[in-house]
A and B are shown apart, each in its own frame.
Chain A
Amino acid sequence: MHRPDLAIAAHDGQALPTDTCPADSPLAVRGLTVSYGEKPAVFSVDATFPARAMSAIIGPNGAGKSTFLKAALGVVPRLSGEVRVFGTPIEKARDRIAYVPQRASVDWDFPATVLDVVQMGLYRRVGLLGRMSGRMRALALDCLGRVGMADFAHRQIGQLSGGQQQRVFLARALAQDADLYLLDEPFAGVDAATERAIIDVLKGLRDAGKSVVAVHHDLSTVRGYFDHAFLINVRRMAEGPVETAFTAETLHATYGGRLATTQIDEVMLSGGAA
């Protein structure tokens, strides 16, 4: 079904809409529509995220950023549309995806230790009934070390700060040892040190050839953190390299009246030097 000529045309970062998903993109969607009620939350969206890059999903509150990510993963049902992960249906690519949901989406009073949560990321390798071997446990501890949380392995998760909880979620994603990392607002409500630690880990993943796609809220850090921007407000508003897709015009179009012109100017100035 894949037409190589169109796939190549779509891969140069201009993200020309094509009628099929390019096979070399870690995550590509065509005509994705999601609806919770009568009004669609995401309407007929095309997106092609580049490989070996950090991509941001940007848009105002209620624009469908998180819904877009969840629908691409199959966590919420889609009304229509096609999703391809590394050119295959997502069911065949689950081992290649790591997912970090919003921190606030779970109950942190759940009776589990930090190590318990990280070991959940090993599920695809251990299976339903497989034994959690010493080697697997060591792997989980190693992932905790990479986010600077090795000393907290046996803490109950409810005793952690917000930033520490977010690091545990990232460690769980690292334990999945994926090629594509999908994160839902990884910097929401975390301290500056944690934000630094997380972005270092994510950039390290990219430099190791992995692909990162994150729902991102803070417009001032887009230019410093990301290579590729995808702007959404129910519909796709802009997509491409940050330099061309994340501009005053596209922000105006995406945020409408919700973002004053002066704020957009600030964003454009603040991120430019990073």
Chain B
Amino acid sequence: MGAEFVQFSLTPILIGMFAAIACALPGNFLILRRQALIGDAISHVVLPGIVVAFLLTGTVAAIPMMIGAAAAAIVAVILIEAVRRLGRIEPGAAMGVVFTTLFAAGVLLLEQSDTSAVHLDVEHALMGNLESLIWLRATGWESLLDPAALAALPPELGRMAVVCALIVALTAIFWRWLKIATFDEGFAQALGIPAAGLGFGLVVTAAIAAVAAFDAVGSIIVIAMFICPPAAARLMTNRLEVQVLWSVAFAALSAVLGYVLAGYGPLWFGAANAVSAAGMIATVSGVILGLACLYAPHRARIGAAREDA
């Protein structure tokens, strides 16, 4: 746990944690609103948007990526409506078709375009490049106080930290609105809470988390973190406040444990190479959800038969 850890593991673990928490927080509300798949959908739809933004601007800067992702989301909404109305196909299927098609189109675009100069390729889109986000200038823990070394931190760390802090702040500020409107939208509207705008804001927040996390850790983590930590957290408690704290803890645990297991786990079993950190983080979050399903204290409530009704 010395210089080598600071150099090669500290920054990827922190970036993974920030990404996981940024996705898990809005995930809590998406799941309770029965919109869990929106997170999945967003992380698919943003790919072609990001690729097109890159082709137009030639950079992987945050603002063009965000605009590209937003434009792709708008195109997706229009396509879903078109498929639903013209094809007379039920909304769930229409969504599934559009998202998968757009993601596939993004992959094709990515293959055909020259992105060799930047970290943007199909594997990166799925798995991110967490392992490469290391802090080479660091010589040990003392580097945390060395301005020259700090200046050489991977830019993804700062970006992800800012997005994570933004999402934590938004969740805290709009907590009461989110809680009331997620439980009882009609009541919230009667109170004068702008429930429709709030629901839209939640999806936009999830999209910001998805785009930021996508850049650093790939879409597999995004999909897993929107759903697994909040779903496991729901099984731990019957109070929203506690659930959200559990989801943050599970997200952070998945990131740390997943990164360590990916780096060292295969070596323990005699394998020569480490496995993808993003893949392992997502797997760990799934295992946590599995354990919560088996052993968590409040697992009986999920899917339990409604009393009368």
Q: Do B190 and A99 touch across chains, with their CB atoms under 8 A apart?
A: yes
Known contacts A101-B186, A123-B176: A113-B239 contact under CB 8 Å: yes
Q: Select B309's contact among A104, A116, A124, beta carbons within 8 Å.
A: A104
Distance in angstroms between the alpha carbons of A182 and B298 in the assembled complex: 34
Q: Select A156's contact among B183, B189, B301, beta carbons within 8 Å.
A: B301
**Distance (whole angstroms) from the CB of A3 to the closest CB of chain B:** 29
Closest B residue to A172 by CB, please name it. Answer: B187
Stretch at the interface among A4-12, A13-21, A68-76: A68-76
Q: Do A91 and B240 touch across chains, with their CB atoms under 8 A apart?
A: no
Known contacts A111-B237, A128-B174: A106-B190 contact under CB 8 Å: no
**Distance (whole angstroms) from the CB of B165 to the closest CB of chain A:** 18
Chain A residues numbered 58-117 whose CB sits less than 8 Å from any CB in chain B: 70, 73-75, 91, 94, 97, 99, 101, 104-113, 116-117
Q: Select A75's contact among B177, B186, B308, beta carbons within 8 Å.
A: B186
Does A204 belong to the interface (CB within 8 Å)?
A: no
Does A138 belong to the interface (CB within 8 Å)?
A: no
Distance in angstroms between the alpha carbons of A172 and B186 in the assembled complex: 14
Q: Do B304 and A158 touch across chains, with their CB atoms under 8 A apart?
A: yes
Q: Do B240 and A128 touch across chains, with their CB atoms under 8 A apart?
A: no
Distance in angstroms between the alpha carbons of A105 and B183 in the assembled complex: 10
A259 CB contacts on chain B under 8 angstroms:
none
Q: Do B239 and A111 touch across chains, with their CB atoms under 8 A apart?
A: yes
Interface string of B214-246 (1 = CB under 8 A from A): 000000000000000000001001111011000
B306 CB contacts on chain A under 8 angstroms:
108
Does A161 belong to the interface (CB within 8 Å)?
A: yes
A253 CB contacts on chain B under 8 angstroms:
none
Does A120 belong to the interface (CB within 8 Å)?
A: yes
B307 CB contacts on chain A under 8 angstroms:
160-162
Q: Do A111 and B176 touch across chains, with their CB atoms under 8 A apart?
A: no
Interface string of B288-309 (1 = CB under 8 A from A): 0000000000100110101111
Does A189 belong to the interface (CB within 8 Å)?
A: yes
Known contacts A123-B176, A128-B173, A128-B176: A110-B183 contact under CB 8 Å: yes
Known contacts A99-B187, A120-B187: A110-B177 contact under CB 8 Å: no
Known contacts A112-B239, A116-B240, A128-B176: A123-B183 contact under CB 8 Å: no
Known contacts A109-B304, A111-B234: A120-B184 contact under CB 8 Å: yes
Does A274 belong to the interface (CB within 8 Å)?
A: no
**Distance (whole angstroms) from the CB of A5 to the closest CB of chain B:** 33
Distance in angstroms between the alpha carbons of A110 and B238 in the assembled complex: 8
Q: Do A111 and B186 touch across chains, with their CB atoms under 8 A apart?
A: no
Known contacts A94-B191, A123-B191, A128-B176: A106-B309 contact under CB 8 Å: no
Q: Do A189 and B183 touch across chains, with their CB atoms under 8 A apart?
A: no
B38 CB contacts on chain A under 8 angstroms:
none
Does B87 belong to the interface (CB within 8 Å)?
A: no
Does A129 belong to the interface (CB within 8 Å)?
A: yes
**Distance (whole angstroms) from the CB of B234 to the closest CB of chain A:** 6
**Distance (whole angstroms) from the CB of B84 to the closest CB of chain A:** 15
B193 CB contacts on chain A under 8 angstroms:
123
Which of B174, B239, B302: most chain A CB closer than 10 A? B239
Does B166 belong to the interface (CB within 8 Å)?
A: no
Distance in angstroms between the alpha carbons of A99 and B151 in the assembled complex: 56
Known contacts A109-B304, A116-B239, A120-B180: A129-B173 contact under CB 8 Å: yes
Q: Do A74 and B189 touch across chains, with their CB atoms under 8 A apart?
A: yes
Give the number of residues in A that approach B within 8 Å (Cβ atoms): 35
Q: Do B183 and A120 touch across chains, with their CB atoms under 8 A apart?
A: yes
Q: Do A111 and B184 touch across chains, with their CB atoms under 8 A apart?
A: no
Does B105 belong to the interface (CB within 8 Å)?
A: no
Q: Select A109's contact among B189, B191, B301, beta carbons within 8 Å.
A: B301
Known contacts A111-B237, A123-B176: A106-B191 contact under CB 8 Å: no
Closest B residue to A77 by CB, please name it. Answer: B196
A75 CB contacts on chain B under 8 angstroms:
186, 189-190
Q: Select A106's contact among B184, B240, B301, beta carbons within 8 Å.
A: B184
Q: Select A73's contact among B176, B179, B189, beta carbons within 8 Å.
A: B189
A129 CB contacts on chain B under 8 angstroms:
173, 176
Distance in angstroms between the alpha carbons of A126 and B175 in the assembled complex: 13
Distance in angstroms between the alpha carbons of A116 and B239 in the assembled complex: 9
Q: Do B238 and A113 touch across chains, with their CB atoms under 8 A apart?
A: yes
Q: Select B243's contact among A73, A111, A124, A162, beta carbons within 8 Å.
A: A111
**Distance (whole angstroms) from the CB of B33 to the closest CB of chain A:** 9
**Distance (whole angstroms) from the CB of A163 to the closest CB of chain B:** 9
Does B192 belong to the interface (CB within 8 Å)?
A: yes
**Distance (whole angstroms) from the CB of B203 to the closest CB of chain A:** 19
**Distance (whole angstroms) from the CB of A94 to the closest CB of chain B:** 5
- Show 20 residue pairs from A and B whose CB-CB distance is below 8 angstroms, ordered by the A residue: A73-B189, A73-B190, A75-B190, A94-B190, A104-B309, A107-B183, A108-B306, A109-B302, A110-B182, A111-B234, A111-B242, A116-B179, A117-B183, A120-B179, A123-B191, A128-B176, A128-B177, A160-B307, A162-B307, A172-B187
Query: 4 extra interchain contacts, Cβ-Cβ under 8 A, other than A110-B240, A116-B179, A116-B240?
Result: A99-B190, A111-B242, A111-B243, A120-B180
Task: Across the A-B interface, give the 9 residue pairs with the lowest CB-CB distance, nearest first.
Answer: A156-B238, A99-B190, A162-B308, A94-B192, A101-B186, A75-B189, A111-B240, A75-B186, A110-B183
